[in-house]
Amino acid sequence: MSHAVTITRTTTTTTSTSAIVINSGYLKTIPGLLKLAELIIGSICTFLVAYNFWSYSRYSGGTELFFLCIAVACVVGTFCLLLSCLLSLSTGGIISKTIYEFIYHTTAFILYIVASILLIVKNNNYQTSHPFMIAGILGIINSALYLVSAFYAHRSYRGI
C-alpha cells in the first residue's frame, strides 16, 4: 500500500543573542501575505475613523462608531493570528488546519462588509467628510481580503 508524504520547508531567522525564532517563511505564503495586508489596511481604516471621529462629532454617530469597533476588533484579531504564526514554527501549519481561521475570517468578512456599506451609505447621503468615505472603501477592500482568507482557510481545513 502506498501513501503520499508532504514535506514542508520552513524558513526561519534567528540571531545568536536572541532566543526568539521568527518564521519569516510564513510571510512568503499567500495566507501570510493576506494577513499582513489585512493588518495594514485595517490599521489605516482604524486611524482614519478614529482621527476624524472627533473632528466631525456633530455628524458622527452610531455608524462611524460601529465601523471603528469592527475595525479595531479585526486589527487586534489579525495581529494576534499573524504574530502567533510568525513567532511559532508550528502554529502557521497547525492553526490553518483548524476551523478557527475559517470562522474568524468569515465573521470578519461579514462584519466588515456590513460596517463598510453602512458607513458609505450614511456618508454618501449626508456628504459629511471624505475620510469616512475613504475608510468605507478601504473597509470593502479589506472585507474582500478576509473573504479570500476564508476561502484559503476553508480549503486548508477541508484538506485534513
What was the pLDDT predicted at 131?
Answer: 85
Residue 95 to residue 85: CA distance in whole angstroms: 8
Residue 123 to residue 145: CA distance in whole angstroms: 23
* CA count, 13 A, side-chain hemisphere, 159: 12
What was the pLDDT predicted at 61?
Answer: 72
| pTM for the model | 0.82
Q: Which ranges of the chain have pLDDT less than 70? A: 1-19, 56-60, 126-129, 158-160
Radius of gyration of the chain (CA): 19
What was the pLDDT predicted at 130?
Answer: 82
What was the pLDDT predicted at 158?
Answer: 66
CB atoms within 10 A of CB 96: 20
What was the pLDDT predicted at 106?
Answer: 96
What was the pLDDT predicted at 15?
Answer: 53
What was the pLDDT predicted at 26?
Answer: 85
* CA count, 13 A, side-chain hemisphere, 107: 11
Note the residue count of the chain: 160
Residue 146 to residue 37: CA distance in whole angstroms: 10
Q: Which fold has domain 26-158?
A: Four Helix Bundle (Hemerythrin (Met), subunit A) (1.20.120)
Cell of residue 99, nine digits = 476551523
What was the pLDDT predicted at 93?
Answer: 74
Task: Write the CA distances from 98 to 10, 93, 136, 139, 158, integer angstroms.
Answer: 19, 10, 31, 26, 9
